[in-house]
Amino acid sequence: MARIPYVSADLAEPREIVDAVRKRRGGTLLNLDRMLLHSPELASGWNAYLGAVRTRLSLSPRLRELAMCIVAVVNGAEYEFIHHAPVFIEAGGTQAQVDAMRDPDRAAADSALFDDTDRAALAVAIAMTRSVKVPDAAFDALKSRLPERELVEFVATVAAYNMVSRFLVAMGVEPE
């Protein structure tokens, strides 16, 4: 249950900010947006930053969504998982992989469902989320599989979605 009321779904002001958020969301405001819009400036920055992470990086959409899903599970952010699991599947993931991510450690070790790059990515995302520090072996495994730009973008995506999930959980944002 949300810890404070959401702003109205038909919020119109401040127009420039609300319109930008609606545009990124295809015309609607999600519960996350309705919570963020208590602070229009925060919502504006969030919208621009997360919009870039979601749509303008060179990291593959599948790895991006894998990162988002595993962060969501580790942090108990069901809202985030519900929103990103279907996008992971659209990007080439499978329902079996989605189901497996419900147990992060088993997923990171599952060579039948996840290839070497996936497992390395899962290990880095899990370590970053649980303890912030990533063991050298885990980082090096991912580093050997991704170009530097994609490695930076993967780590930044994990960091960004840790922010998202922690906001969702702390504020009690509910799935639509």
Q: What are phi and psi of 68, to 5 degrees?
A: -65, -40
pLDDT tens per residue across span 100-148: 999 999 999 999 999 999 999 999 999 999 999 999 999 999 999 999 9
- Domain 61-171 listed as CATH 3.40.50.10540: no
pLDDT tens per residue across span 68-95: 999 999 999 999 999 999 999 999 999 9
| Torsion, Cα of 156, 159, 162, 166 (10° steps) | -120
Cα 45 vs. chain centroid, distance in angstroms?
16
Domain coordinates in residue numbering, the chain: 15-55, 61-171
How buried is residue 132: exposed, middle or buried, by Cβ count under 10 Å (0-12/13-18/19+)? exposed
pLDDT tens per residue across span 35-47: 999 999 999 999 9
Mean pLDDT of the region 40-64:
97
